[in-house]
Amino acid sequence: MTSMFAFNKEILASSGAEICVEATFCSPSHSNLIVAVSSNLFVYSLVEEDSPDVVHSIDFDQSLMGEEEFPNLMPLLEPSKKGQVPTVARMELFAKFKLNGNVCSMAAIRTQTSVGLLGMDSLLISWADAKMSLIEFNMGTNSIVTVSLHYYEREEFKNSSLSERGYPEIRMDPQNRCAALQFYQDKLAILPFKQESSSSNLFDSENPSEEYEFYG
């Protein structure tokens, strides 16, 4: 079998950040900054540390400093609060993942899967020309897993040239009920998500993607 490197081989890795989102992705108790750089996914964690330069306030005796002689030179220092140490925050690279394609858009979503019930977010990523995938972080293996794939590239929708189609864009519902994918300029696909109760789920069927797959 001919290697795919004969057709496409990455010589230099991309260095420009294109898309970033904030999500509780790797742990229920910490927020992460997720940056997409071409076909690479970087996950950063916020780490807080004690400040290396801790300056404590000094209590001055007003009578010893000569307040009457130098009234304008007296510093007005507030007493330091005991037990509080200044901290500094920095971004630390937690993980890096190689993806099978360039990320076009990305959004964080809280689903009703086992990961979502733990208080962690999932990532919804769109790919060219009109594909979308839902991925989650597995704390047991420290890797990402694909939960679902959605393919909308039908021949009847390709009514324009490749250069005019643009990139698929993801838009999320603020209540995490569904996601919308705009593709081929004027096409819209709605991806519903399972809700806690069936009464609040507008797409109450065994396979919602079959009944409510395209809106354009």
Which pLDDT tens digit goes with each residue over 129-144?
A: 889 999 999 998 999 9
DSSP 50-92: E-SS--------TTTTTTTT-TTS---PPPPPTT---EEEEEE
Express each pLDDT in 91-124 by its tens digit: 899 999 999 888 999 999 998 888 888 999 999 9
pLDDT at 77: 45
- Quickly state the pLDDT bin for 89 (edges 50, 70, 90): confident
The model's pTM is 0.67
**Percent of the chain, pLDDT > 70?**
67
Is residue 192 a contact partner of residue 212, using CB atoms and an 8 Å limit?
Answer: yes
User: Of 106, 120, 134, which Cα lies nearest the Cα of 30?
Assistant: 120
Using left for φ > 0, alpha for ψ between -120 and 50, and beta otherwise, residue 101 falls in left
Distance CA 39, CA 102 (A): 4
The residue written with tokens 């009457």 in the block is 68
Q: Does the structure show a pLDDT above 90 at 34?
A: yes
Query: Strand, helix or coil at 140?
Result: coil
pLDDT at 48: 80
Of 24-33, 80-89, 139-148, 202-211, the range with the lowest mean pLDDT is: 202-211
What is the DSSP code (8-state) at residue 116? H
Express each pLDDT in 142-182 by its tens digit: 999 999 999 888 877 776 555 566 788 999 998 888 999 99
Q: Which of 5-9, 77-81, 211-215 has the highest mean pLDDT?
A: 5-9
Q: How many CB atoms lie within 10 A of CB 179?
A: 21
DSSP 17-36: --EEEEEEEEETTEEEEEEE
Q: Residue 146's beta-bridge partner residues?
A: 135
Query: Strand, helix or coil at 59?
Result: coil
What is the DSSP code (8-state) at residue 90? E
The mean pLDDT value of the chain amounts to 76
